[in-house]
A and B are shown apart, each in its own frame.
Chain A
Amino acid sequence: MRELALNILDIAENSLAAGAKLIEITLLFSQSKDSMRISIRDDGCGMDEETLQKVTDPFTTSRTTRKVGMGLPLFKYSAESAGGSFSVASRKGEGTEVCADYRISHIDRMPLGDFGGVALQLVTMNPRVDFRFFVSDGERGGVLDTREVREVLGEEIPLDAPEVRAFLKEYIQENLVDIIGGRL
C-alpha cells in the first residue's frame, strides 16, 4: 500500500462485507495544527468485544480462504509510523468506526493519493449502499452524500449510468478533491 486512499478503500470494503447500508468517510485536516484525521464509519454488523481485541492482529480475519488479514494492520501501521494514532470502535449489531490520525509533516507519512478516484469507485460500484464523504481543511468543507444524489435521480436512473458517473467524477473533483488541493 503506497497511498492512504487505498487504505481507505480497503477499510470501506470491510464495511461493505459487514453488510453496511451507510458508510461515512471523513477527512479532516489542518495545516496550521499539522494534523490529519481519516475516519470510516459504518452501520454494518459490527464486532463483539473479543473480536475487537484482536482485530489489528494480522493473523485475525473474517474470511475463510486463509488465516491472514492485513487491511486493518496496514492502516494502523500507516498512522503509528507517522507520529499518529489509530483506533477501532465497534458494537455488535450497530456498526464500526475506524479512525486514524497523522502528523502531516512526518517524513514517513504516506501520501493521500487518489482520494477522488477511490470515492468515485466506492460510490459507483456499490449500487445498494449509501456513502457520505466529508472533507474539510478547517476553513472550507465539501460533502458528497449519495442519499441526496439518489433523491434527485429517482429510482429509475442508477448511480453507475455513464452520464451520472461523469457528473459524479466532476462533482467529487470540485467539492472534495479541490479542498485538499494537492496539500496531502
Chain B
Amino acid sequence: MKSLEELRALREKMKSQTDNRSVAGENETVIKVGMATCGIAAGARPVLDALLDEADKRRLHNVKISQTGCIGMCRMEPIVEVFKDGQKYTYVLMTPDKARRVIAEHVVNGNVCADYLIGNSSN
C-alpha cells in the first residue's frame, strides 16, 4: 500500500529536478474549466480529466490547468477558457474528445479550434 514514506523518497528525487522546471514561466498557457453545479452536471469533470491527461502525456510543463466557478452561460457548459498569447478563447459545449483536440491543435500547434469557439457554436 502507498504510504507517506514513499512520498518522502519522491521528494528527494524531485528536489534535484526543480531547478530546470522553473524556467518555463514564459509563454505559459492557462486553461480554466467551469466547475459549478451547471458545469459538473453537464460533464465538466471528464473534460478536465481529458485536458490533464493529454497535457500529462505530452509533458506540457508550460500549461496550467485549473478550475473556476460558474462562467455565466450555463446552457453552454462544459466551458473551457484558454488564455494564450494575451488572448482569451472560450470553447463551449465541450467533450473529452474536443478537449484533447484543443490541447493538440490549439495549445501545442497554435491553431485555434474555431468550430468549438463560442461565436461559432450553432446551439
Verify if A49 is at the interface (C-beta below 8 Å from B): no
The answer on a CB contact under 8 Å between A9 and B45 is yes
Take A125-B67, A148-B4, A152-B7 as given contacts and tell me if A1 and B56 are in contact as well, using a CB distance cutoff of 8 Å.
Answer: no
Give the A interface residue count (CB, 8 A): 35
Verify if A85 is at the interface (C-beta below 8 Å from B): no
Contact of B4 among A6, A152, A174 (CB under 8 A): A152
The stretch of B33-41, B97-105, B107-115 that contacts the partner chain: B33-41
Interface string of B1-28 (1 = CB under 8 A from A): 1101011101101110010000000000
Verify if A164 is at the interface (C-beta below 8 Å from B): yes
Q: Do most interface residues of chain A lie in helix, strand or loop, or is the interface mixed?
A: helix
Q: Which residues of A contact B37 (CB under 8 A)?
A: 10, 69-71, 74
A: residues with CB less than 8 A from B are: 1, 6, 9-10, 13, 17, 63, 65-66, 69-71, 74, 114, 117-118, 121, 125, 148-149, 152-154, 156-157, 161-165, 167, 170-171, 174-175
* 11 A–B contacts, CB within 8 A, in A order: A6-B45, A69-B37, A74-B37, A114-B45, A121-B45, A149-B7, A153-B11, A156-B18, A161-B14, A171-B7, A174-B1
